[in-house]
Amino acid sequence: MSDNNPLVSIITACYNSEKYISDTILSVLNQTYQNWELLLVDDFSADKTISIITNFEKRNDRIKLFQLPKNSGAAVARNRAIEEANGRFIAFLDSDDRWLPQKLEKQVSFMLDNAYSLTHTSYELIDESGNSIKKNGKTSGRFML
């Protein structure tokens, strides 16, 4: 793809995420920006997380599942996905979170328009049923590279 449409590697660490992982994956599939790969690393789940992801993986070759041989924590899982990433940009998406449909489109455009290598966003807090609790989370400060 061109520099105006760079590949985004979306990294999701999973551990016993069966309750939310389908909604998380669907929020990626519903993105208006379509040049992405979704790299999910399962951290030795004991529930149905792997089978749920496998069903999505069979239907979309941009979704890739990797499995850790033992429970090692989210940082190890994320680092494993980074090793597999092919994108110009990396985006982190927790296994119990969802993105609004234009999230990637807006963020990639903003990064390209401003020649930024790193950005972060605020987020809307929701309850376990996905309902807004009318509170936004804000990331703090500026980054110095």
Q: Give a yes or no: residue 125 inside a domain.
A: no
Q: Give a yes or no: residue 38 inside a domain.
A: yes
Domain count, the chain: 1
Q: Give a yes or no: residue 135 inside a domain.
A: no
Is residue 30 within 8 Å of 61, Cβ to Cβ?
no
Q: CATH no. for residue 53? A: 3.90.550.10
Residue 137, pLDDT above cutoff 70: no
Q: Write out the residue range of the structural domain in which residue 91 sits.
A: 8-117
Query: Quick one: average pLDDT of 130-141?
Result: 64
Q: Give a yes or no: residue 55 inside a domain.
A: yes
Say what the pLDDT of residue 3 is: 78
Q: Give a yes or no: residue 19 inside a domain.
A: yes
Residue 135, pLDDT above cutoff 60: no
Q: Give a yes or no: residue 54 inside a domain.
A: yes
Residue 145, pLDDT above cutoff 70: no
Q: Give a yes or no: residue 78 inside a domain.
A: yes
Arithmetic mean of pLDDT over the chain: 91
Q: Give a yes or no: residue 124 inside a domain.
A: no
Range with lowest mean pLDDT among 1-5, 111-115, 116-120: 1-5
Task: Specify which residues 9 forms β-bridges with.
Answer: 37, 90
**Crossing angle of helices 49-59/21-29, nearest 10°?**
20
DSSP string, 61-82: TTEEEEE-SS---HHHHHHHHH
